[in-house]
A and B are shown apart, each in its own frame.
Chain A
């Protein structure tokens, strides 16, 4: 997917710039006029180099903020604050995942993943999420098909309420925004909307016949 997008952006840009070098002028009174020049292509080349330089400056500006954030998260992990949070949201989790036993390890892994997402820690969230999927798969009777719990977890994961969008605050700080954290309130609100829609969608769609869970395979036929 990303390959196609990248080619379209690169080749599309170069072809459009090349076309503009012809300098076609449709508005002229004497019909189609041509003013060929290489300016659009030299502009394009300059733009390419500028963008390449800007990306490294951006990453360098990000180092400090990422270090601060990952350092704080490490403290929260060691002190057990993350686990405490997991305990606090358990009642909600039990409601959302009726098919998963409350004491099952899948619950813990899912909570940790969602907590990491809330703090905007995409990189920390992924390993926890993959662990949660393995645990959910152990409860799955039809191994190649997603369970209701898996689909709910994915919808929550991709839409999750975010309190601290750490990376994007970092980017804004690196670009000298006057108040890098001012987006926190709006983000909480917008993710609240998307999470609500996700939960409604998942609970509604799972009742539709076309998304019904297939019957359990007979024992011993598993591949």
Chain B
């Protein structure tokens, strides 16, 4: 039942959203084709713009993994994480996510490459990626842009939310795909 609802939402979401966007555009007499292509041009730039970040982080993680250093770390932490159902391979993802968006994306890509996109590990990392944010980066950029130095309760609240998001991602993944 629970799995059915979740899978249903996943299946419907994108077709429905596309229909709503295109339908509303047509209703409002937007030149949908021209406007679409204009927006789509940006797609190439975005993909190319992330290549340097992807190379940097994938190569660094590749070195860490190929040398066996990652196995040492996950071996140390896995007793702690295994009781909530998080496989050791996902630990680097949970550690990287609040620090760096490109870094976390690199880890997801790496896990997908290594274990296959349909493995539990890769699914869990992908759900974690979708469920949390690069808290440190966002707080630094947003508060920095207006010159606010005393951030009061913003950071502890955001980190608590991240922790909740990571644990929720693990639990939900286990419930739906485990």
Q: Are A and B physically bound partners?
A: yes
Q: CB-CB < 8 A to A80: which residues of B?
A: 24, 28
Q: State which residues 162-185 of A face B: CB under 8 Å.
A: 162-165, 167-168, 171-172, 175-185
B162 pairs with A185, CB closer than 8 A: no
Chain B residues within 8 Å of A23, by CB:
none
Contact of B109 among A155, A171, A177 (CB under 8 A): A171
Output the nearest chain B residue to A8 by Cβ-Cβ distance.
B64
Q: What interface size band does chain B fall in?
A: 35 or more
Q: How far is the CB of A174 from chain B (nearest CB, A)?
A: 9
Partner of B151 from the list A151, A171, A190, A197 (CB cut-off 8 Å) is A151
Of B11, B50, B118, B138, which one neighbours A158 at CB under 8 angstroms?
B138
- Taking a contact as CB atoms under 8 Å apart, the answer to whether B55 and A73 are in contact is no
Given A146-B143, A181-B14: A191 touches B165 (CB 8 Å cut-off)? yes
Contact A55 B54 (CB under 8 A): yes
Q: Nearest chain B CB to A85's CB is how many angstroms away?
A: 10
With A79-B28, A172-B112 already in contact, the answer to whether A154 and B39 are too (CB < 8 A) is no
Give Cα A66–Cα B164 distance, bound, in whole angstroms: 29
The residue of chain B having its C-beta at the shortest distance from the C-beta of A13 within the complex is B63
Contact partner of B131 (CB less than 8 A), chosen from A14, A56, A191, is A191
Partner of B117, one of A176, A188, A190: A176
Task: Find chain B residues with CB under 8 A from A64 CB.
Answer: 43
Closest residue to B5 on the A side, CB-wise? Answer: A185
Cβ 8 A contact of B126, one of A81, A134, A183, A195? A183
* Count class of interface residues, chain A: 35 or more
Asked if A182 and B7 make an inter-chain contact with CB atoms under 8 angstroms apart, the answer reads: yes
Find chain A residues with CB under 8 A from B51 CB.
55-56, 59
In the complex, whether A26 has a CB less than 8 A from a CB of chain B is: no
CA distance A123 to B101 in the complex (A): 11
Find chain A residues with CB under 8 A from B41 CB.
67
**Residue of A whose beta carbon sits closest to that of B135:** A158
Whole-angstrom distance between the Cβ of A92 and the nearest chain B Cβ: 17
